[in-house]
Amino acid sequence: MFLIVASILSSAFCPAGALAGGIDIAAHWMTDLKEGVCLIGFWFNHEHCCWTSNETTFQERDRCPQWKSWAELIAGASEGPFAYAVNYLMYLFWALLFSFLAVTLVRAFAPYACGSGIPEIKTILSGFIIRGYLGKWTLIIKTITLVLAVSSGLSLGKEGPLVHVACCCANILCHLFTKYRKNEAKRREVLSAAAAVGVSVAFGAPIGGVLFSLEEVSYYFPLKTLWRSFFAALVAAFTLRSINPFGNSRLVLFYVEFHAPWHLVELAPFILLGIFGGLWGALFIKANIAWCRTRKTTRLGHYPIIEVLVVTAVTALMAFPNSYTRMSGAELISELFNDCSLLDSSQLCGYKQPSNTSETGVDNSLADRPAGEGLYTALWQLALALIFKMLITVITFGMKVPSGLFIPSMAVGAIAGRLLGVGMEQLAYYNHDWLIFRGWCSPGADCITPGLYAMVGAAACLGGVTRMTVSLVVIMFELTGGLEYIVPLMAATMTSKWVADALGREGIYEAHIRLNGYPFLEPKEEFEHSSLAVDVMRPRRGDPALAVLTQDGMTVGEVETIVESTHYSGFPVVVSQESQRLVGFVLRRDLLISIDNARKRQDGIVSASKVVFTEHTPAQPPEAPPPLRLRGIMDLSPFTVTDHTAMDITVDIFRKLGLRQCLVTHNGRLLGIITKKDILKHMAQIANRDPDSILFN
């Protein structure tokens, strides 16, 4: 049995790992295509192009004659304002082309391919069915358009959509096995594992992926799913590693290695980053939801293609002049996380070289140094990039292209963290004798690692937006592999969650679920209201009585009248109208199909035929038409609660057992019914929200 599951999981998640690798490679190539082309083969990206040429040194590894920028190719000039303008225009052209293709493909073939997909997967795992959301068209189009969207330079990431892609893979593979095709619950377990796989391949963090699935995505996570998710996440991560898209044979997206330990005093700036992350997270959610609501309710929503093109144009125009916004989000984060070594040529490492040290003097290579010209320029550019990213991400997330939020959030946090980190470093360098620095910062030694600040900042901002906690810390821990940094990460994430929760209880995914009106019963929130089942159930006091069927007292005609005059999706069956003792529950669909079939195939079923739900057909007068026996379609074990059951217990039952409806009895008599929709409406009312915004299928 386990071997079968294992083989399903591995065959399902090898493709997910392979797809992730393919997306990485394609996106990398197309991102570089915006800047230029490789003469020895247009299919090489910038880095690969220059690998093939042996002339380059390590220092100049991204400059080689084979790689031509568009200005060199078209205008023949590599410098000067004209060349710059050509490059600028070509960058804009490609960005618009890619985003136009992305939004057109999404609209034409698979409308479900847009967005990150995580809110919808959360909803699906909670029991809601969205047909086609995990189908093959969504998979194909989302994979293609994800590459296009990432390459267009928009402020979005590929991590969230990868979760959706992995879930599509899993769902399609489930259809091949009867056991999973027929059993919705088992399929959901596989989907939970798929969510783990998505994050595992996105970051190269299998354990973090499993915890992400557990903490953020899954609704019901039995223990065997834990083990299977872990297995699947590892298989996928190793598939990805064998494809080696980052070209460094590392599993992880941002590999970092820090040399200096952190000091207890540094917790203060880390907590500051946490506060920043929390504030930004909460404000981002409010702004983004407000923008998305505007899109939904005004005419803006009717022109998604124009919207995407305008946002792409603005992004490209603003991003090109600043090297930190021009590079892709992942590259930016990678650079910000990086610890400077003496040989580093990046602007961020533009410290003044210590004059008395030769390049081979390894002793001093990691010591603190004063900031130089290059670093000051970098800081300015980073500050501008921070403001730009913070604003543009608000209007980007939620457009009709695949868009993840992990990378933009982390980028914002990493920039803020790096700025603070460099600030702290310079403060410590110039003020070694301050009391707080005296303990661990001596001249000529390394005491503050700005890259660590960037990492902590990234975690804080991502935590503020998504409200992830343990999984976030574990993902970051897997990136660095050092237990040493758990406490800074933890402190920042915790602060960020507290600050953000104080400003608004929902994470971005819950906020989008509510915006879209999906019927999602939040498993984390406690229901703390003293209402009883009788207050929530239908019919309310004064409403007409509940539409019920009796087990042997109604004719086919009467049943049809009840079914047609109401829109309920199911009807309780009682012993008799007088006793109201509950027998079972019949679904509207089953009832209609059965009556329809019986009228067609069974002799003598007319409107006057008795409908019988009992085990034995009651005696009938001889001239009566033959009865229609429907016990087979009745659910004999409907869930019931009494009218005095407290709503917090009822909500708990709905959550834990994944119910869609529950009947309410009083002293053994049927009194009413509570559906998931009733509960969601009741909760919306308590929270002073509009109860009619909730969808239901």
Task: In angstroms, give the least distance from the CB of 2 to a second copy.
Answer: 7
Q: Which residue matches tokens 């209402």? A: 531
- Does the protein bind a second copy through residue 30 (CB under 8 A)? no
- Among the listed ranges 43-51, 428-436, 449-457, 660-668, the one in contact with a second copy (CB under 8 A) is 660-668
Pick between residue 344 and residue 501 the one whose CB is nearest to a second copy. 501
CB contact set of 145 (below 8 Å; sequence gap of 6+):
101, 102, 103, 105, 106, 113, 401, 402
Alpha-helical segments (H) within 602-643: none
CA–CA dist 319, 48 (Å, integer): 24
- Among the listed ranges 7-15, 321-329, 465-473, 594-602, the one in contact with a second copy (CB under 8 A) is 465-473
- Does the protein bind a second copy through residue 234 (CB under 8 A)? yes
Decide: 473 and 292 in contact? Cβ < 8 Å: no
Pick between residue 98 and residue 585 the one whose CB is nearest to a second copy. 585
Note if the bond before 539 is cis, omega within 30 degrees.
yes
Among 30, 646, 684, 686, the residue binding a second copy under the rule CB under 8 A is: 646
- Does the protein bind a second copy through residue 182 (CB under 8 A)? no
- Does the protein bind a second copy through residue 227 (CB under 8 A)? yes
Which class for 428: exposed (0-12), middle (13-18), buried (19 or more C-beta within 10 A)?
A: buried
Decide: 465 and 285 in contact? Cβ < 8 Å: yes
The pair phi, psi for residue 257, each rounded to 5°, is -140, 115
Pick between residue 515 and residue 574 the one whose CB is nearest to a second copy. 574
Pick between residue 64 and residue 199 the one whose CB is nearest to a second copy. 199
- Does the protein bind a second copy through residue 478 (CB under 8 A)? yes
Among 640, 654, 671, 674, the residue binding a second copy under the rule CB under 8 A is: 640
- Does the protein bind a second copy through residue 670 (CB under 8 A)? yes
C-alpha closest to that of 1 among 156, 125, 180: 180
Q: Taking CB under 8 A as the rule, which mask of x and - marks residues 497-516 in contact with a second copy?
A: -x------------------
Pick between residue 272 and residue 641 the one whose CB is nearest to a second copy. 641
Supply 171's token pair: 């769902």
- Does the protein bind a second copy through residue 477 (CB under 8 A)? yes
- Does the protein bind a second copy through residue 575 (CB under 8 A)? yes
Pick between residue 396 and residue 580 the one whose CB is nearest to a second copy. 580
CA–CA dist 73, 67 (Å, integer): 10
Task: In angstroms, give the least distance from the CB of 647 to a second copy.
Answer: 11
- Does the protein bind a second copy through residue 645 (CB under 8 A)? yes
Task: In angstroms, give the least distance from the CB of 585 to a second copy.
Answer: 10
Among 137, 652, 677, 696, the residue binding a second copy under the rule CB under 8 A is: 652
Task: In angstroms, give the least distance from the CB of 253 to a second copy.
Answer: 13
CA–CA dist 449, 259 (Å, integer): 8
Please calculate the CA angle 379-469-270 and round it to the nearest 5 degrees: 35
- Does the protein bind a second copy through residue 553 (CB under 8 A)? no
Pick between residue 401 and residue 582 the one whose CB is nearest to a second copy. 582
- Does the protein bind a second copy through residue 445 (CB under 8 A)? no
C-alpha closest to that of 274 among 462, 38, 518, 480: 462
Pick between residue 301 and residue 481 the one whose CB is nearest to a second copy. 481
Q: Which residue matches tokens 């377990």? A: 189
Task: In angstroms, give the least distance from the CB of 23 to a second copy.
Answer: 22
- Does the protein bind a second copy through residue 580 (CB under 8 A)? yes
Supply 374's token pair: 């290059």
CB contact set of 2 (below 8 Å; sequence gap of 6+):
none
Sign of the torsion formed by the C-alpha atoms of 16, 523, 277 and 308? positive
- Does the protein bind a second copy through residue 637 (CB under 8 A)? yes
- Does the protein bind a second copy through residue 439 (CB under 8 A)? no
H or E stretch at 411:
helix 406-430
- Among the listed ranges 128-136, 206-214, 503-511, 685-693, the one in contact with a second copy (CB under 8 A) is 206-214
- Among the listed ranges 328-336, 560-568, 580-588, 594-602, the one in contact with a second copy (CB under 8 A) is 580-588
Decide: 453 and 428 in contact? Cβ < 8 Å: no
- Does the protein bind a second copy through residue 259 (CB under 8 A)? no
CB contact set of 209 (below 8 Å; sequence gap of 6+):
195, 196, 197, 198, 199, 200, 201, 202, 203, 229, 233, 475
- CB-facing half-sphere around the CA of 254: CA atoms within 13 A: 26
CA–CA dist 559, 316 (Å, integer): 63
Among 159, 215, 307, 339, the residue binding a second copy under the rule CB under 8 A is: 215
- Does the protein bind a second copy through residue 383 (CB under 8 A)? no
- Does the protein bind a second copy through residue 492 (CB under 8 A)? no
Pick between residue 229 and residue 328 the one whose CB is nearest to a second copy. 229
CA–CA dist 248, 234 (Å, integer): 18
- Does the protein bind a second copy through residue 226 (CB under 8 A)? yes
CA–CA dist 234, 227 (Å, integer): 11
Residues in contact with a second copy by CB under 8 A are: 2, 206-207, 210, 214-215, 222-224, 226-227, 230-231, 234, 238, 251-252, 469-470, 473-474, 477-478, 481-483, 486-487, 490, 494, 498, 523-524, 533, 574-575, 579-584, 636-638, 640-642, 644-646, 649, 652-653, 656-657, 665, 667-670
